[in-house]
Structure 1
Amino acid sequence: MSNVRTARVYDAPAAGTRVLVDRLWPRGVSKEDAPFDEWCKEVAPSHQLRTWYAHDPAKHAEFLKRYARELAEPTARQGFDHLHELARTGQLTLLTAAKDVDISHAAALADLLNR
């Protein structure tokens, strides 16, 4: 299944289901005009992991390992399974406020869902 992609929450909307996967609400986005269909914060990295990682490319490989362990926890797993079901029904875009989407948790999620 390769119909899962990533984008910044601030990008122009594309077709399909759009899901915010950040733990924190993105700055400058009003809840009334949210440009996405769902908010699945259960799959976001923990505050501790997010703070430790700080989108440092040198820590990316270790971040992926730690994040995979967090995704195996029951609440995160439930969110992951929900995203997997959404991906089965059509195009799914995982949204994040991260500036570098390629090294974000959204990219890691997309990779796992596309397998």
Structure 2
Amino acid sequence: MAKLQYPLILDELKTTLSNVKDEDVENFEQAVKDAKHIFVAGKGRSGFVANGFTMRLNQLEQPAFIIGGITTPSIHEGDLFIVISGSGSTEHLRLLAEKAKGEGAKVALITTQPDSKIG
């Protein structure tokens, strides 16, 4: 049986969270509260996180949609598009973010690379 990696995982989480600024969390929280509709996207493992986060937002009575869903409406001004991307450089997500901004929606990026193409 492989050695448990919990200490490594906890250290990585601790390191990641130590780099999150309180102001960024507060701004993100306010953007979620203010949004008419919330749209979420990610690819790969980030896509799994995006799906779970979208479900949780709906459980909290925030109207949220996963990009690409068959019942996902169009994005408009006053909406929020949340991109979840570890690298912050997934081309498809970058194009979606540009489209959302072009429609007047706010865009938030959850990433470990804030200076990336999407960032």
Tell me if both proteins adopt one fold, taking TM over 0.5 as the criterion. no
Question: Under a length normalisation based on structure 2, what TM-score does the superposition of the two structures give?
Answer: 0.35
Question: Under a length normalisation based on structure 1, what TM-score does the superposition of the two structures give?
Answer: 0.36
* Structure (1 or 2) with the larger CA radius of gyration: 2
Higher relative contact order (CA 8 A, sep 6+): 1
